[in-house]
Amino acid sequence: MASILPASNRSMRPDKNTYERKRSVYVKNPYLEGMDEDILYHLDLGTKTHNLPAMFGDVKFVCVGGSPNRMKAFAQFMHKELRLEGDGEDIEDICAGTDRYCMFKTGPVLSVSHGMGIPSISIMLHELIKLLHHARCCDVTIIRIGTSGGIGIAPGSIVITDTAVDSFFKPRFEQVILDNVVTRSTELDKELANDLFNCSREIPNAPTLIGHTMCTYDFYEGQGRLDGALCSFSREKKLDYLKRAYRAGVRNIEMESTVFAAMCGLCGLRGVQHQLNKDLGKEIVDFKSPHIRKLYLQNNAKLDSTKATHCCGLCDTS
């Protein structure tokens, strides 16, 4: 039978002095150090085949999102915003040797796709975190830029996640490890969330709010959709569920936030989520960090309209 183990974010962190001096990206795996070679299978990178510190040592800022094309467009956008040499149009996919994920680097910014759902982003994050660790990166900020379905908010709003919650509105991620269930915390970096929120105030036509994001295992039944291949609940049940979610502080739904928050928290990454609830939206956020004075983030405008807005039926609820 599965056992429930307590959340242990804090105890897994390095001591206070290490933390305050320099925030390293750390791994919590005693076996890694003794390994002759670490192969990052799904990124097509490795410690023997690639000089990871030379390739990635300057990375300060990582943006992740589901779709490869969006992440390429984001990298091109950042290339222009950072006024780097060339037009950035020919930016190459570092992970071209695999068709699992795409990765683009422009200056200190890494833009990586993660596919859909917890298992997919979790594999990418394991390998990305090891990559940043092997490259000896420190003070890294990571932002998931994605789409989501809004609950009780105007279509087109941007939600910045302070806490990811599961389908029971609980701030937890339950990782099955062998036959144990280990519960991990899903708080995101509040300071970073506030920074992003403050930046958004200066940007017209980008209504932005901070709220909880609910992470589901499924796009259809898990999010109360009535148009999946299977649907065993009534419209009333769906609305009741979404209303309860709203009352619990949930403002949007997507499919990666709990594991994203849990893994960032455990491995020393300042993480936040930033999602657009709109079909044909364009968002620009002026983002500040100690390392990059002013970054402009853009979640690519060409979002697929079929997945961007989930009409929850609560949008008129105040």
Ligand X SMILES: O=P(O)(O)O[C@H]1O[C@H](CO)[C@@H](O)[C@H]1O
| Interacting residues toward ligand X by CB under 6 A | 65-67, 116-117, 146-147, 219, 254-256, 307
Residue 227 is given by DSSP the state: S
Pick 149 or 268: Cβ nearer ligand URA: 149
CB neighbourhood size of 29 (10 A): 12
Q: Is 149 in the site for ligand URA (CB under 6 A)?
A: yes
* Burial (Cβ within 10 Å: 0-12, 13-18, ≥19) of residue 229: exposed
State yes or no: 146 annotated in a binding site. yes
What minimum distance in Å lies between the beta carbon of 164 and ligand URA?
13
**CB-nearer residue toward ligand X: 52 or 95:** 95
Q: Does residue 223 have a known ligand-binding role?
A: yes
Residue 223 contact partner, candidates ligand URA, ligand X, none, CB within 5 to 8 A by sort of partner: ligand URA
> 129, 164, 182, 253: which one contacts ligand URA (CB under 6 A)?
253
Known binder of ligand: residue 147? yes
DSSP string, 103-129: EEEETTEEEEE--SSHHHHHHHHHHHH
| Backbone phi and psi for residue 247, each to the nearest 5 degrees, phi listed first | -65, -25
Amino acid identity at 102 = C
Are the C-beta atoms of residues 83 and 129 closer than 8 Å to each other?
Answer: no
Closer of 66 and 88 to ligand X (Cβ): 66
Number of residues that bind ligand URA (CB under 6 A): 11
Q: CB neighbours of 47 closer than 8 A, spacing ≥ 6?
A: 37, 38, 39, 134
By CB under 6 A, residue 159 contacts ligand URA: no
208 binds, among ligand X, ligand URA, none (CB under 5 to 8 A by kind): none
Q: How far is CA 50 from the centre of its chain?
A: 26
Residues making contact with ligand URA (CB under 6 A): 147-149, 219, 223, 253-255, 307-308, 310
Q: Which residues are annotated as a binding site for substrate?
A: 223, 225
